[in-house]
Structure 1
């Protein structure tokens, strides 16, 4: 339940940053958008985010056409890593098997640059 709430709140924060923070919007315009999602390996908890300079849409589940997916071993691992989403945290999580990246790792770098502006 905590992870589900955290992912919903992340969507609210992303939409708020798009409205209020010009650096966030500028970075998103340079990227021309990013479609990404977060889920547990069993897909019990999953949420996706479709971000464009014109708006951000969020929804339940993981569609198959996402640019980037972050799959976490379980909800505790997801919360632990998402509280401090640094490159070091993701790298350490991948080494331990807590995180699996589906997609291009350069999209993860782009996402981390955006999350700095939240």
Structure 2
């Protein structure tokens, strides 16, 4: 399995959040085992860009032959650990959905309108 790199920037480290990230990272790897790297950052977003957001979860997934997949989700409830956990879950769910689309395209299973074939 690809090692999961986890970092906390501008926020206090949380064992519970790190454990959830590792759990979700292993889940994502079972779904898409070709990833070349998995980096997750828990950070305090820049206030002028994200008013009211206390935490941002950023996931960077390396895909062979493609640009990295970057997912960001925010938690807006202050230091509420439950809100951070929800943001972690949402970020990994979004990553899975996008990886599913990428996997379909890589295998030639591209969705088209009205059942027609893609070019």
Would the TM-score normalized by the shorter structure come out above 0.5?
A: no
Larger Rg: 2
Tell me the TM-score normalized by structure 1.
0.31
Tell me the TM-score normalized by structure 2.
0.31
Which structure carries more helix by proportion? 1
